[in-house]
Amino acid sequence: QVRRLFASCDDTTRRGCRDVAILTMLVRLGMRSGEVAKLSLDDIDWRAGTLVLRHTKGRREDVLPLPVATGKAIAAYLKLERPKTSNRAVFVRHVAPRDQPAGPDLIRKTIRQAFARAGLPYTRSHLLRHTMANRLLAGGSSLKEVADVLRHRSLNTTLIYAKLDSRKLAEVALPWPGSAV
């Protein structure tokens, strides 16, 4: 269902690139809306293939890898759709007041609209972090690896995101010692 969220970036009309870049960062990197909104051009190291998050929930600086697909999505937005501005924010407003960074509300609105286009019910933007955590676990990642990707200090926090799938759990559960089974 995640694939249905992505509208294509159309280089002929120069539309949709911002949405694709935002959604790609949320889904592939597990970023929060506020982190995407506060990302600066200075936070992207194209040569090293990294992003620096300076405005995180934990008030620390985190360095994330910049996957090729994510880098391409950001580059397409910067090249095709980003308004000309001196503002160093990656995502800037396309309507008045121009020259201002896009805020977390605009990021959440973008997500809401993507859900609507895909015919999916929208609950909250954080759902994409939950989806990422579940995809990582389903792919064989450990809870610690998921915690590292989501930048959680505590595994208990990650457990909230990585809800167990009881059907899959039943497939691997061993019989209780001493039971009739």
- Active site positions, annotated: 32, 57, 126, 129, 152, 161
Query: Token pair of 102, please?
Result: 């896009």
CB within 8 A of 67, min separation 6: which ones? 28, 29
CA distance linking residue 142 with residue 25, whole number of Å:
22
C-alpha distance from residue 5 to each of 102, 115, 129, 171 (Å): 20, 6, 14, 30
Nearest to 94 by CA among 103, 108, 82: 82
